[in-house]
Amino acid sequence: MADLGSIFKAYDVRGVIPDTFDADVARAIGTAFARVVGGSAVVVAHDMRPSSPELATAFADGVTSQGLDVVFAGLGSTDLLYYGSGHLDLPGAMFTASHNPAEYNGIKMCRAGAAPISGETGLDEIRRLAEESMTGPKASVEGGSPSRRGAPSTGDGGRRVGREHDGPAGTVTERELLPGYAAYLRDLVDLSGIRPLRVAVDAGNGMGGYTVPAVLEQGLPLEIIPLYFELDGTFPNHPANPLDEANLVDLRAKVREVGADIGLAFDGDADRCFVVDERGEPVPPSAITALVAAQELAREPGATIIHNLITSNAVPEIVRERGASPSAPGSVTPSSRPPWPRPARSSAGSTPPTTTSGTSGGPTRVCSRRCTSCGSWARTTVRSPGSPRSTRATRRPGRSTPRWPTHPPRWHGSARPSPAGTASPSTNSTA
């Protein structure tokens, strides 16, 4: 049996194919997921990795074995899966390993309405039940006697956990979510005044090659210059990890070559985007966060802006200057993400807090920040726990030479991030 303790992280599942993660494990997790979330159906999608269709199908088998139906969305990005979970008001599972190497795969799971699942809110129970499913003991509920599927257990903190289903199996229905997802994204902003733009996009052979044409090429005055749009989970050109600036080299060169107005780089499951300006220079994620925050506050004055802990101090300053409240959770994880709007809210004026983010997840994070003691700007790399801190000063306006902070080394712009927020492929990542 695979060591499920090695593949269950704080917020998702991730392992090496087939050493620690295969179809049998996926089927057991599907069975456990259905027992934990209950309800009538689950929506499932997968990325372009060679192992993803088999794993997603096995997971769906496990779900239907518990009497729940499956809405099978097929190919999609992680955000498309979250859209499906919110739009259909169903729990969901996305098969992807995000920006991790080709030999990895994993599952990102959520409850109905795209509400996140962590170890404390169901993931640990899913692991326990999956292990039981693979070893074959009688189904049970921790701390209490077996109960019918969906009935509250007495020892699981009020979560709904049931025993193995012994009735009819559920059914699998295929459903195309991409058109609705694309329309939803375009409806988030006012596109009536958009000017013609030349946009270079590096999909890194990931799911951006599937979603970008549907979102950006339908009725918009945008000329898309595609790089590596072919879906290929072996990543033949470069890793689909824009966190590493080495993977931005081709995009930066293409922006300069064609005179693009902007460049966009997506990670493997297309839930994270990095921006390159018209000169081919990377734009700090904090700058993007501030720009998005300012735009959203112009549309919804007084809204709460949830931002990443490691963004520049300029982000909360800009939010406060506009009379709104910034909010930086201890770390930006799925547990701090507001649930996707449910269908009943989509036509109303009330919306959840506006969420923006700078760089998040991954073994190394880079952003620009201003030191709260001396006011100097520094480019700071936040590495995995135990690795050395690295701070590089940059020039301040009016100075001919860089100014290093005169105080002892410290984390610039914020407290040291939680170790749970940084990870290697074998540990937790929110990406």
Annotated active-site positions, please?
98
Residues 339-346: contacts with CB under 8 Å, at least 24 apart:
339/86, 339/113, 339/114, 339/115, 339/116, 340/82, 340/83, 340/85, 340/86, 340/113, 340/114, 341/86, 341/113, 342/86, 342/89, 342/113, 343/86, 343/87, 343/89
Radius of gyration of the chain (CA): 22
**Which positions ≥6 away from 324 have C-beta within 8 Å?**
293, 297, 301, 302, 303, 304, 305
Cα 115 to Cα 8, 86, 118, 150: the distances in Å are: 18, 9, 10, 18
Q: Which residues of 161-183 are buried (b: 16+ CB within 10 A; e: fewer)?
A: bbbbbeeeebebeeeebbeebbe
The Cα–Cα gap between 366 and 381 comes to 5
The Cα–Cα gap between 6 and 11 comes to 13
**Residue 276 near residue 251, CB atoms below 8 Å:** yes
Cα 240 to Cα 233, 292, 333, 367: the distances in Å are: 9, 24, 21, 19
The Cα–Cα gap between 83 and 89 comes to 9
The Cα–Cα gap between 199 and 195 comes to 12
- Render 313-337 in DSSP notation, one character per residue: THHHHHHHHTT-EEE--SS--GGGS
